[in-house]
Amino acid sequence: MTSLATGLMFLFFVTIVASLNTSSANIWEQDGCFKVGHTRTIKIPGCVEFDITTNACRGFCVSYSVPSTEDSLRINPKQTITSYGQCCNIMETEDVKVKVMCLEGP
């Protein structure tokens, strides 16, 4: 087998392994921010406990730091590094109504 053929087989193998790894990952383990369901148990004294699912954000935040610009240093000479970050954030809300069964009535 030539070195070119060996190199191509290796590249093919790496591509297959990488694609298998990506396809089995949870969506929030990929770059970006994703809306996912988050279920939790609600316990209120004197009432029947219940589960509720609400929206949550999961994902990776893009962030980095760079040396501050001259303009930034004029405003704040001690800020030698400027950081930038983009994180997941829910931008809209909606009410979730639930009927809670309690000893004294719903």
Does the pLDDT value for residue 87 go beyond 50?
A: yes
27-58 per-position pLDDT tens digit: 656 677 888 888 999 999 999 999 999 888 88
Does the pLDDT value for residue 13 go beyond 60?
A: no
Give Cβ neighbours of residue 97 (< 8 Å, ≥ 6 apart): none
Confidence band (pLDDT; 50, 70, 90) for 21? Answer: very low
Give Cβ neighbours of residue 103 (< 8 Å, ≥ 6 apart): 46, 47
Query: Averaged over 87-101, what is the pLDDT?
Result: 83
> Where exactly are the structural domains of the chain?
27-90
Query: Averaged over 12-21, what is the pLDDT?
Result: 48
Are 65 and 84 in contact by the 8 Å Cβ rule? The answer is: yes
